[in-house]
Structure 1
Amino acid sequence: MNHFARALLRPLIGAALLVAGTAAVAADQIPVVASFSILGDLVRVVGGDGVAVTSLVGPDEDAHVFEPKPADARSLVHGRLLVTNGLGFEPWAQKLVKSTGYKGQAVVASQGVKARTMPGEKGQKETDPHAWQDPGNVVLYVRNIAAALARLDPAGAATYQGNSEAYVKELQALDTWAQEQLSAIPAAKRKVITSHDAFGYFGKRYQVSFLAPQGISTEAEPSAKEVAQLIRQIQREKIKAVFFENMSSPKLLAQLAKDAGVTPGPALYVDALSKADGPAGSYLQLMRHNVMQLVAGIRQN
């Protein structure tokens, strides 16, 4: 959070304690704050009518570079449960908790996930936070969310459990379908270029090789040498599957695609949902959209 954002937050934190939250919450609903839109969708599925959900980072927004606003402070102060991804995805979340004096409960949705690590700057390993790109991990997410809601509302525990297990079946069906779609394409063709390195869990699950000019975070800027190496690899291996992401600036990848002589495909949805009326208004829609676009792209390799 920059100095300007901190200065803006401080005077409004006290006022946030005295005014109503921005979202209308029924008396029998639990106000839940999710760190970003994908988690918000999962909370709505598990909580059903028993929750009123606010997502701090909304559709088509980038959680990597997010800076909380006064409205976010108000939402958090009035929340009873904060749901975060963890794995280093939201470094700003704990700062927001501290600066608002949030007293509610919290759950890290990724608890229990076997995290991937990747080489980072100066040879140090970085944790890959994008665990939701594997539906098997999302099974853990929804069960963790159900357990957290049950602790807050024991009377609704059976409902949350039932909702989560019904959703687990949908996740398992999604996973089976994705496996079928991608395994039908020869492994040698399964190579994709994306804006930043966010598909590691997806790639491992479905045996797809992803390459990106940016690292795990969209804040990382690749060097000219790294971009040149990637262009040579695209040309050498004749990779045609090149995709932007909905929450990233397309400028870098557009220039890379132009220099490599390839045409980018439609946007993929990685760290954020689309608007409700878009192609990725829910997590299940996001995954189906991405799989279909990736299959169409890698068939051209």
Structure 2
Amino acid sequence: MKAALSRPQARTKRIAALATVGVLAASALAACSTSSDSSGSSGSGTSGKPAAASSGSGQQIQVVAAENFWGSIASQLGGSHVKVTSIIDNPDADPHDYEPTAADARTVAGARMTIVNGIGYDTWADKLLSANPAAGRIQLKVGDLVGIAPGGNPHRWYSPQNVHQVIGQITADYKKLDPADAADFDTLRSTFETKTLGTYNQLITGIKTKYAGTPIGASESIVSPLADGLGLKMLTPYSFLSAISEGTDPTAHDKSEIDRQIKDKQIKVYVYNSQNATPDVQQQVKEARAEGIPVATVTETLTPAGASFQQWQVRELRGLQAALAKATGK
């Protein structure tokens, strides 16, 4: 997922872009607030009341998710009662360094509910929301919900526990916005958690039961919440994982430590983010394969484009499960 600019460079460039979008966002909000809503879909409005999505009214809750992994979940939990737009919906876009557009500002201006990851992961989304205040809007910030402050690991969609926490909160928020359809939202949640996520849940339980304690290595901190959720033992220094995630140079000591772990086969499986394969990561993948250590991949956002959260996660979990089976003979 590396662009032409490094993540630190892109952050600097984004400051000017956000300032421009802030002005555009204010204009978009004014336009949305004064336009008529003849279509019956929810908008910002001037009443300050949350839009209802009752089955009788035909209205939908307009939801904006900063990233498509949360957007996919939100859409499935809302069914026909919601319309979800994900700002980051392209596998080639980097959520860390995304530069919002005027179209994004207009989309946020009409939202009755927003879902932002937080934890310093998508600060551009916070700026869009600040530029587009709306009375009655529900703002769900995942980091606040799960109790992870800025500076912590932001990749909470790879934590099975956190995923289920977000599912519960989204449903609760939908019921606040549209109490008339509360029963529908409860049914949608039950179906999603027990049936739609059935294979996802089974894979998590199966891997944890069979491979808990297995030592693994990884390219960046995106893998850490998943390893924790599966009971796997992460040997890669967290300072290295964080450096790759943040786009900074890892220390020579960390690189030497990982090289030793691979050479001595202390790790059984190596997992890397294929959307952020830096030269250091590529070298580690090459070394792991040369030593006969199975390699598994993850990505930062939904892949391929158009995949659902569960399709994406199940494919990755099966790949990791196969790598663990090959490595351990279990």
TM-score by length of 2: 0.74
Offset at residue 250 of structure 1 (A):
4.3
Question: What is the deviation of 1:240?
Answer: 5.6
| Structure 1 residues 185 and 218: alpha-carbon distance in aligned structure 2, compared to 1, 3 A threshold | closer
Cα shift at 1:130? 2.4
Q: Give the counterpart letter for 1:177 in structure 2.
A: L
Identity %: 24
| 2:125 counterpart SS class | helix
The reply on whether 1:74 has 2:106 as its aligned counterpart is yes
- Structure 2 CA distance for partners of 1:47 and 1:289, relative to 1, 3 Å: same
Q: Residue 267 in 1 paired to residue 297 in 2?
A: yes
Per the alignment, residue 96 of structure 2 pairs with: 64
Amino acid at match of 2:315: H
Retained in 2: the 8 A contact 1:109–1:141?
yes
Aligned residue pairs, count: 284
Q: Which residue type is aligned with residue 163 of structure 1?
A: L
Cα–Cα, structure 1 residues 186 and 43, in superposed 2: closer, same or farther, change >3 Å?
Answer: closer
Structure 1 residues 228 and 71 mapped into 2: Cα distance closer, same or farther (>3 Å)? farther
Name 2:216's counterpart in structure 1.
Answer: 192
Task: State the 1:74 CA deviation.
Answer: 1.5
- The structure that has the greater radius of gyration is 2
Q: Secondary structure at the match of 1:244?
A: strand
Q: Distance in 2 between matches of 1:264 and 1:252?
A: 18
Contact kept? 1:46, 1:164, Cα under 8 Å: yes
Please say if residues 146 and 160 of structure 1, whose CA atoms lie closer than 8 Å, have aligned partners that are also in contact: yes
Residue equivalent to 1:256:
284
Quickly say closer, same or farther: Cα 1:109–1:155, change in 2 above 3 A: farther
Q: How does 1:110-125 map to 2 (within 5 A)?
A: 112-113=145-146, 115=148
Whether the 8 Å contact between 1:128 and 1:216 is mirrored in structure 2 is no
Contact kept? 1:198, 1:216, Cα under 8 Å: no
Q: 1:224 aligns with which of 252, 261, 275?
A: 252
Q: 3-state DSSP class of the match of 1:199? A: helix
Farther-moved stretch of structure 1 (50-59 vs 104-113): 104-113
| Matched residue, 1:48 | 79
In structure 1, give the amino acid aligned to 2:222: A
Match of 1:284 in 2: 310
Taking the aligned partners of 2:316 and 2:209, their CA distance within structure 1 comes to 15
- Mind listing any 5+ residue stretches in structure 2 that lack a counterpart? 1-10, 42-58
Distance in 2, matches of 1:178 and 1:157, equals 29
Q: Which amino acid aligns with 1:239?
A: I
Greater fraction helix: 2
Query: Is residue 3 of structure 1 aligned with residue 29 of structure 2?
Result: no
Note the C-alpha offset of 1:110.
5.5
Asked whether 1:13 is paired with 2:25, we answer yes
TM-score (norm 1): 0.80
Query: Does the alignment pair 1:215 with 2:242?
Result: yes
